[in-house]
């Protein structure tokens, strides 16, 4: 679970919760548990009103092409590039974390990669403190040898 607390106005606390399963939308039982803990009079100041909500999930897909240098086994290079990308995406699947296009390209630049072309996302994915980005699909193909 990931959580973020903001104060949209004096006396108001907005707690945003993200599940670590699926796309990250927090199920109602989890929200109810968090709310029960945070609204207990022994936990919160009596003048604060606490609201608990699920993170707004911002879906996106990654599509593009990777070109490799001649020599290294392109299957091995692609496997490493995709492993690196997936590790980054797992870490970036948090409340308030932007997903910059440059980070996606950087993670795809494994040893042996000559260049990366992205079709999607076409720009950085900007995420607020009540949102979480979720990658719905990765379609990165080896587009050939490029020198």
Residue-wise pLDDT tens digits, 32-49: 999 998 887 777 666 678
Last residue of a domain, one of 54, 71, 93: 54
CA distances from 84 to 37, 79, 104, 125 (A): 37, 9, 9, 19
Closest among 147, 135, 145 to 104, alpha carbons compared: 135
In total, how many domains does the chain have? 2
User: What is the domain range of residue 8?
Assistant: 2-54
Report the mean per-residue pLDDT for the chain: 93
Single out the residue in 54, 69, 96 at which a domain terminates.
54
16 and 45 inside one domain? yes
Task: Spell out the residues 6+ positions from residue 45 whose beta carbon is closer than 8 angstroms to its own.
Answer: none
Q: Could you say which of 54, 71, 94 is where a domain stops?
A: 54
Judge if 40 and 78 occupy the same domain: no
For residues 38 and 99, membership in a common domain is answered with no
55 closest CA partner among 88, 22, 85: 22
Looking at the structure, tell me whether residues 104 and 34 fall in a common domain.
Answer: no
Residues 6+ apart with CB under 8 A from 92: 99, 103, 133
Same structural domain, 81 and 139: yes
Strands of 49-54's sheet, edge to edge? 2-6, 12-18, 49-54
This prediction's pTM:
0.87
- What is the dihedral angle through the alpha carbons of 56, 136, 86, 138, rounded to the nearest 10 degrees? -150
Percent of the chain residues past pLDDT 90, beyond the cut: 78
Residue appearing with tokens 């193909």: 141
Regarding whether 50 and 78 lie in a shared domain, the answer is: no
Please indicate, yes or no, whether residues 40 and 84 belong to a single structural domain of this protein: no
pLDDT tens sequence across 54-92: 999 999 999 999 999 998 799 999 999 999 999 999 999
pLDDT given at position 71: 83
């Amino acid at each position: 679970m990931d959580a973020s607390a903001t104060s949209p106005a004096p006396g108001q606390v907005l707690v945003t919760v993200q599940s670590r399963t699926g796309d990250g939308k927090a199920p109602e039982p989890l929200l109810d548990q968090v709310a029960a803990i945070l609204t207990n009079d022994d936990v919160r100041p009596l003048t604060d009103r606490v609201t608990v909500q699920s993170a707004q999930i911002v879906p996106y897909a990654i599509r593009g092409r990777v070109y490799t240098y001649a020599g290294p086994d392109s299957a091995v290079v692609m496997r490493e590039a995709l492993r690196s990308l997936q590790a980054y995406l797992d870490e970036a699947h948090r409340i308030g974390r932007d997903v910059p296009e440059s980070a996606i390209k950087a993670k795809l630049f494994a040893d042996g990669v000559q260049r990366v072309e992205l079709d999607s996302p076409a720009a950085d994915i900007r995420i607020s403190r009540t949102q979480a980005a979720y990658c719905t699909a990765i379609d990165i193909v080896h587009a050939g040898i490029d020198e």
